Amino acid sequence: MKELDLSEGHSSGIPTIQGELQKNGPPRAGFFTDEDRRAMRIRIPIHPAFLNMQEGTEKTKTSFETSMKQVLKPKDFRKLKLVIGELTKKDEITIQEVMAISKKSRTTAWRYMQILVDLGAVGAEGNTNNMIYRVKG
């Protein structure tokens, strides 16, 4: 959480975490400690827009872009906007298509797609040279 600038060190960032979640839309986080208060667990609920993605309707297709806008950092969304638009249309994309759309190198295109894979929004299939990214849901 600290690396994402969502909290401060030494567990003093609870208001920051709650504020960022409030901006993003999901319910508030839950904080749980053991009896001795030596350890803390945080429960961050899934954003409702991701739950809607599993319905498999046309409405879900348009909500994919909306969902990505809500969960990605603004800087990352700006970089990925064209790629997300393409994924909204056809649910899958190759690394070569990402390179053509973004006008970036293979390495940069791979990094862009890795952001979406790490979020769990898309899955990667195939080998390094023939990678296909598919929208999950």
Structure tokens at 75: 């800087």
In this predicted structure, what is the pLDDT of residue 5? 64
Residue 40 has pLDDT above 90, yes or no: no
**Coil/strand/helix, residue 133:** strand
Rg (CA), the chain: 17
**Are 134 and 92 spatial neighbours (Cβ–Cβ below 8 Å)?**
yes
The pLDDT tens digits for 2-29 are: 566 655 666 567 777 777 777 777 678 8
Question: What does the alpha-carbon distance between residue 1 and residue 134 come to, in Å, rounded to a whole number?
Answer: 27
User: Facing residues of 137 across strands?
Assistant: none
The position carrying tokens 């993003």 is 24
Question: What does the alpha-carbon distance between residue 47 and residue 71 come to, in Å, rounded to a whole number?
Answer: 8
**End-to-end Cα spacing for the chain:** 26
Q: Which domains does the chain have, with CATH numbers?
A: 73-135 (1.10.10.10)
The pLDDT tens digits for 50-96 are: 666 555 544 444 577 888 888 888 898 899 999 998 998 888 999 99
Residue 33 has pLDDT above 70, yes or no: yes
In this predicted structure, what is the pLDDT of residue 42? 81
The pLDDT tens digits for 84-112 are: 989 988 889 999 999 999 999 999 999 99
